[in-house]
Structure 1
Amino acid sequence: MGLPRFGRPKNDGELSSNLFVANCGSAVGLSDDDIASVFCKFGELKGVYAADESGTRVIVAYVEEGSAQAALKALHGQSCPELGGRSLHIRYSVLQPTPQDQASDLVPVSITASDVSIPGLFLVHDFISAKEEEELLQAVDCRPWNSLSKRRVQHYGYEFRYDIRNVNTRHCLGELPSFVSPILDRISSCPTFENVKNIVLDQLTVNEYPPGVGLSPHIDTHSAFEDLIFSLSLSGPCIMEFRRYENGDWLPRVASSAVAKIENPEDQSNFIRRAIYLPPRSLLLLSGEARYAWHHYIPHHKIDKVNGKVIRRASRRVSFTFRKVREGLCKCEFPQYCDSRR
C-alpha cells in the first residue's frame, strides 16, 4: 500500500486534523521522529508522512482537529529551534480518496537483477572505476550537447531522430568515439553477458538528466535496434522501473515510432511492475524478454527510496546507451509487442 494521499481543503476556512508543513523533511536532515517530537506537544499524532517527493514537505496527522489547530497557531511562520531553526510554513490538509488504480503506488526496489526476475535483465555493479567515470564525463563535456526540453543529449554512430523516433540507417555519423573503446572491449569480454562477442555496437546516445528529470515509459522499437541494449550510469543514481502489459494494448498508432509510449502510464490495471536501483558506474543490459516485452522508464523524482533509505538524486546523471542498429525486420518471440509483425 502507498502512503495516505492529502490535498488542500476544497473550502476556505475548512479545518482539519491534518497539517501540511513545508520547509522540513528528510532532504534537509530532519527525520519523521524529529518532526513528531515537536508536533506531539499539541496532541496525539496518527503519524508523519512525506507530502511529496521533494523531501522538504510533510503531512502531520493528528487524532483530534483541535490539536492541529493549536499547532498551526503556535508554529506557522515561526522559527523552530528544535528543527534546526527552520521557519515552518503550515496549512490545513485533508485526506483524499485513493483511486483504485493507484492503491499500490510503491513498488519494491531490487538491488540485483536476479531479484527483479525479468528474463534477459542483467546488472553489473562497478563496471568501471571512479577514474574511468571521470574521464568519460570529461570527454563528453568537451563535445557539443544538443538541448531538448528537459535534458541534453549527444549521438554517435547514428543520430536518434526524436521527430520520427527512429534512426536513419542511410546516414552514418561515423564510428563510435575512441574514448568508449575500452568500454566496448570490456562488454565483449564480460562473463555476465552471453552472445556478445560477435556483436558490433554501432550507436551511442549520451543523455544528461538534471535532478527531477526522468524518462517516460517506452520500449525501444524492435525494428530499430537489435536484441542487446546496454546502459552505463554515470555521476548519479536512479531507480529504473519496468512494466509488462500482458495484452499488448500499448501498441502505438504510428508504426514508425521507435519509442512506443503508453497513453496512460499510471493505469496499473493491466500490467506487472518491477524496479531496480542503478548506482553510478553500473552497467545494465536489456535483452530478450526484458528488451522486447517490458516498458522501462525512470520516474521523474528528486529523491528515491530504496529499502527504506532515502537517496537524493545528484546534480546530474549521465547515461551512455549502446545499441546495434537493426537491418531488416525483427523476428523476435514477442509478436504482440513487435512493430515488424503489424
Structure 2
Amino acid sequence: MSDQLALFAASPSHMPEGLHYMEDFISSATEQELIAQVAALPLRPFQFGIYEGKRRVVSFGFNYDYTKQRLEDAEQIPPWLLPIVAQVEAHGGEGTRIAQVGCIEYGTGVGIGWHRDKPQFDRIFGLSLRSPCKFRFRKPNGSKWQRFTLDAAPRSLYMMSGESRQVWEHSIPGVEAPRYSIMFRTMAKRP
C-alpha cells in the first residue's frame, strides 16, 4: 500500500498520521458528471435516531441505522459509480475493496458536527465536489484539543486511516456554497 500512497500529495508533518490528500483527483468534466448523477439521486435528510440532519444523503452497499445501531444492507453501488470506485481502490493500494459509498449534498450553511465514522468501517476516502470546505480534525491533548484543518478543494480526494481515522474526530463547519461529496469506505476486519 505504501507505493500507492505515494500518489497522494506529500502530507505536512503536522497533518494527522494516516491522513492523505490529493488535489485534482478527477477532471472537471468527471466532476460535472458526478454532480449531475448525485443531484438526481433520491437524497433524504440524514437520520440520526430521532433527529434529522440538514445534509441530504443516500448510501449504497451498507447503511448505518442509528435507531437500531447497526449496519444494514443498502442498494448495490450503481454502475455509474463503479469507474470512480475502481479509481479510488487503485489509489488505496493492493487489497483495497470499497464496500460502502455515501453520496452527500450540503446546502449553503450546512455542515457536519464532530464525529468518527462507525467502527465497522476501516479506511475512509472522501471526494469533494463543486465547492471547497474546511475539513477540521481534533484530538484530546491534555485539557485542550490538538487541531488541524485541511482545505479540501473541489475534485480532491482525502483518505483517513490509522490515527486520523481511529483517534482524531473530524467535522465540517457550515459550507459557504452548495457542495457535494462522495464517501468511499472499506470494511474493518472482524476479530
Aligned to 1:187: 88
User: Could you tell me how far 1:184 is from its partner in structure 2?
Assistant: 1.9
Q: Which has the higher Rg, Structure 1 or Structure 2?
A: 1
> Normalising by structure 1, what TM-score?
0.48
The answer to whether the 8 Å contact 2:19/2:159 transfers is yes
Distance 1:277 1:112 in 2: 14
Structure 2 unaligned residues grouped into runs of 5+: 1-8, 47-52
Q: 1:242 to 1:163 in 2, by over 3 A?
A: same
C-alpha separation between the residues in 1 aligned to 2:29 and 2:90?
20
Q: Matches of residues 223-242 of structure 1 in structure 2 within 5 Å?
A: 224-226=120-122, 228-242=123-137
Are the structure 2 counterparts of residues 210 and 272 from structure 1 closer, same or farther at C-alpha, using a change threshold of 3 Å?
same
Gaps of 5+ in 1: 1-110, 248-268, 303-312, 330-342
Contact 1:112-1:276 within 8 A present in 2 as well? no
How far apart in 2 are the matches of 1:147 and 1:188? 28
Q: Secondary structure at the match of 1:132?
A: helix
Q: For residues 11-70 of structure 1, give each alpha carbon's deviation from its aligned partner in whole angstroms, at most 9, with x where no partner exists.
A: xxxxxxxxxxxxxxxxxxxxxxxxxxxxxxxxxxxxxxxxxxxxxxxxxxxxxxxxxxxx
User: Superposition pairs for residues 248-267 of structure 1, below 5 Å?
Assistant: none
When residues 292 and 236 of structure 1 are mapped into structure 2, their CA distance, relative to the original with a 3 A threshold, is: same
**In structure 1, how many angstroms separate the alpha carbons of the residues matched to 2:110 and 2:10?**
24
| Counterpart for residue 107 of structure 2 | 210
SS of residue paired to 1:206 = strand
Shift of 1:323: 0.7
Matched, 1:132 2:30: yes
Counterpart residue type for residue 243 of structure 1: R
Q: In the alignment, does 2:57 pair up with 1:153?
A: yes
RMSD across aligned positions (CA): 2.1
Specify the code of the residue in structure 1 equivalent to 2:77. Answer: L
TM-score, with normalisation over the residues of structure 2?
Answer: 0.83
Q: Specify the SS of the correspondent of 2:12.
A: helix
Deviant stretches of 4+, over 4 Å: none
Sequence identity percentage: 32
2:164 counterpart (290, 294, 300)? 290
Q: Give the drift of 1:202.
A: 0.9
1-structure distance, mates of 2:179, 2:111: 10
Aligned residues: 177
* Higher relative strand content: 2
Query: 1:321: which partner in 2?
Result: 183
Letter aligned with residue 217 of structure 1: W
Aligned to 1:277: 151
CA contact (8 A) 2:136 2:170 kept: yes
Q: 1:133, 1:210 → 2: CA distance?
A: 18
- Superimposed CA distance per residue, residues 151-170 of structure 1 (whole angstroms, 9 cap, x where no aligned partner): 211111111223345423xx
Residues 1:121 and 2:33 aligned together = no
Q: For residues 129 and 10 of structure 2, what CA distance do their matches in structure 1 show?
A: 18
Among candidates 210, 225, 245, match of residue 140 of structure 2: 245
Higher relative contact order (CA 8 A, sep 6+): 2
